[in-house]
Amino acid sequence: MFFKKYKIKKTLEKTNTLPYVVWIVGIFLIFFLWIQTLTFSNNINFNFDYFTDTTTPFLQATSSGGTEKKKKDLNILLLWRWGGNHDAPDLTDTIILASISTEKKTITLFSIPRDLYIEYEDSYKPSKINKVYEVYKPLGEDIAIEKLKSKITEITGQEIDYYVNVDFEGFEKIIDIVWGVDVTLEKNFVDYKFPDDSLWYTTFILKKWTWTLDGNVALKYARSRHSTSDFDRSLRQQEILSSLKNKILSLWYFKDNKKIRELYSAIQDNIKTDIDISTLLKLAITFKAGGDEKILSFNLNDTCFSWSPICSKGGFLYSPQRDFFWGQSVLLVEWSNINKLSEYWKIETYTSLIFEHQELYTSAIPINIYNSTRRKFLASSLADTLTKYGFNIPEENSIGNIREKKFEKSILYYNGIEETDATLIFLSEALWFDTKKTDSPIYSQDDIRIEIILWNNFEETDFLELSNNSHAL
- CA–CA separation, 217 vs 87, rounded Å? 18
Q: Is the pLDDT of residue 386 over 80?
A: yes
Domain-located, residue 218: yes
Q: Are 329 and 343 contacting, i.e. CB atoms less than 8 angstroms apart?
A: no
Looking at the structure, do residues 332 and 354 belong to the same domain, yes or no? Answer: yes
Give a yes or no: residue 469 inside a domain: no
Whether 85 is covered by a domain: the verdict is yes
Are 349 and 378 within one domain? no
Q: Is the pLDDT of residue 93 over 50?
A: yes
Please, is 403 exposed, middle or buried when counting C-beta atoms within 10 Å of its C-beta (0-12, 13-18, 19+)?
A: exposed
- Do residues 345 and 399 share a domain? no
267 in a structural domain: yes
Is residue 210 one of the residues assigned to a domain?
Answer: yes
Given a cut of 80, is residue 223 above it in pLDDT?
no
Q: What is the pLDDT of residue 226?
A: 58
Do 348 and 380 sit in the same domain of this protein?
no
Tally of domains in the chain: 2
Please list the residues that pair with 452 across neighbouring strands. 369, 412
Residue 412 shares a structural domain with residue 346 = no
Kindly state whether residues 289 and 373 are assigned to the same domain: no
Same domain, 315 and 384: no
Mean pLDDT of 320-346: 91
Verify that 342 and 389 share a domain, yes or no.
Answer: no
Question: Of 318, 339, 360, which residue constitutes the final position of a domain?
Answer: 360
Produce one character per residue of 49-77: b if its CB has 16 or more CB atoms within 10 Å, e if not: ebbeeeeeebbeeeeeeebeeeebebbbb
250 shares its domain with 164: yes
Least-confidence region, from 61-75, 220-234, 427-441: 61-75
Q: Which residues pair with 414 in a beta bridge?
A: 437, 450
Domain containing 144 — which CATH number? 3.40.630.190
Q: Final residue of a domain: which of 341, 360, 379?
A: 360
Strands 411-414 and 450-454: antiparallel
Chain segment 336-375, per-residue pLDDT in tens: 999 999 999 999 999 999 998 999 999 999 999 999 988 8
* pLDDT, mean of residues 16-20: 40
Regarding whether 237 and 90 lie in a shared domain, the answer is yes
Whether residue 470 is contained in a domain is answered as no
| Separation CA 449–CA 90 (nearest Å) | 48
Domain endpoint, select from 360, 391, 406: 360
Looking only at the bridges linking them, the beta strands covering 117-118 and 181-184 are unpaired
Residues 313 and 450 in one domain: no
User: Is 473 a member of any domain?
Assistant: no
Same domain, 393 and 354: no
Amino acid identity at 467 = S
Looking up residue 434, the CATH number of its domain turns out to be 3.30.70.2390
- Full domain range(s) for residue 392: 364-464
Rank 21-25, 44-48, 50-54, 298-302 by mean pLDDT and report only the highest: 298-302
Within a domain: residue 450? Answer: yes
Lowest mean pLDDT among 15-24, 78-87, 155-164, 454-463: 15-24
pLDDT digits (tens, 9 = 90+) for 395-417: 778 999 987 767 778 999 999 99
- What is the rounded end-to-end Cα distance, in angstroms, of the chain? 49
